[in-house]
Amino acid sequence: MIGSDRVPGEEALLDALKGVIDPELKDNIVDLGMVRSATSQSGGHVDIEVALTIASCPLRGQIRDDIESRLGALPGVTSVEVRTGTMNAAEKKALMERARTKAQEDRAVTVDFPATTRVIAIASGKGGVGKSSVTVNLAVAMARLGHVVGLIDADIGGFSVPRMLGMSGKLRGDETRKMLPMEMPVGEGLLKVVSMGFLADEDEAVMWRGLILNRALQQFLEDVRWGDLQYLLIDMPPGTSDVQMGLARMIPRAEVLVVTTPPVAAQKVAGRSADMFRRAHVRVAGVVENMTAFECEHGEVYALFGEGGGDRLASEIGVPVVGRIPLHPEMVASADTGAPVAYGDDGPLADAFTQLAKRVCEEIAPVVDTASCTARLIENVERALAETETA
């Protein structure tokens, strides 16, 4: 039975599926025409048929997991079955037209990093949850895995990334007047960093209004010679205001990791942040719970800030908890001295960030070969837009 009081009908299912974003085309799978059918039964079972561009699409698992998470969070849904097929020629043509139209609408900034770069915003609803610490250490851990990782400190007035990384100096420009990011080799990888801290003194207050803050983020995206990147992490300011909404407009293919701490108050505010990005059709990829618990040297575990905030938030918004970072005094000391804990090879914090980086790179946002399904469509869309602009 479809549309009963207890089981969501087709309209509700499709509305929820608009929160599932194709990781490469950065549009929801409903508007892309990828959802062929969405039905529910009286027992709460939901059946979804999705058409992919090719049968061997490497993103199949990620899209399926997102669908199951989103629909599984709906009231009355007890199980979700996702069947995948391959698009026919007419469906592929319609998808290409939709992708090109959206690319034209969203073409707000021009960046020089590849279309396959995974752009991940690290966000939170409120300050004080350790979002910048998570961003910096995640970037270091990803670079240690051998990736080239860009890092934008988008908290313009509250910049802290340079100190946390132990980096100093001023940004320089190249012959085309593009800013050159500060670089730091990390293991076999490389960090490329841009922050207001490389333009202003650390003790100098930056008193800018929302529109100017938005413009600063645009410059960090558009006026920087980023070059080849596998990942670009963006340390967002807290809240749901101009900068957050600007990111959704400027980089529609961005994804979001939401950082929270265990208390209910922090979880609820973080939930509003996730809701804002979802309303802008930006994929919320997962939750990171920071300051999870403190384990003393005798093995006793103390949940000083409570328990369950990450799990509650993840269940509420239908995404996985991708990492849990324990509460530990080394985190504070490492930030003050510019020696991220993720540089280390052992210890609870280093282990937690290594596992978080591996999960992000392998499961949540893997870099896909340009010969893959929708990655090739991105190149075709970009080429078509470039030809249109030069015609």
Asked if residue 383 has pLDDT above 70, the reply is no
343-358 confidence digits (pLDDT tens): 988 889 999 999 999 9
Cα angle value 256/262/265 (rounded, 5°): 85
pLDDT at 224: 93
DSSP symbol at 81: E
316-345 confidence digits (pLDDT tens): 888 899 999 998 888 888 888 999 999 988
User: Quick one: which of 119, 138, 186 has its CA closest to 359?
Assistant: 138
Asked if residue 387 has pLDDT above 70, the reply is no
- pLDDT confidence bin for 2, thresholds 50/70/90: very low
Q: What is 10-106's CATH number? A: 3.30.300.130
Predicted model pTM: 0.74
Asked if the domains 10-106 and 118-364 are classified in one and the same CATH topology, the answer is: no
- Report the C-alpha gap between 200 and 232 in whole angstroms: 22
- Report the C-alpha gap between 73 and 317 in whole angstroms: 7
3-state SS, residue 85: strand
253-303 confidence digits (pLDDT tens): 788 999 999 888 888 888 888 888 877 778 889 999 999 877 777 667 777
Buried b (16+ CB within 10 A) or exposed e, 67-80: bbbbbebbeebeeb
136-157 confidence digits (pLDDT tens): 999 999 999 999 999 999 887 7
- Report the C-alpha gap between 203 and 225 in whole angstroms: 27
- pLDDT confidence bin for 370, thresholds 50/70/90: very low
CATH topology of domain 118-364: Rossmann fold (3.40.50)
The domain locations on the chain are 10-106, 118-364
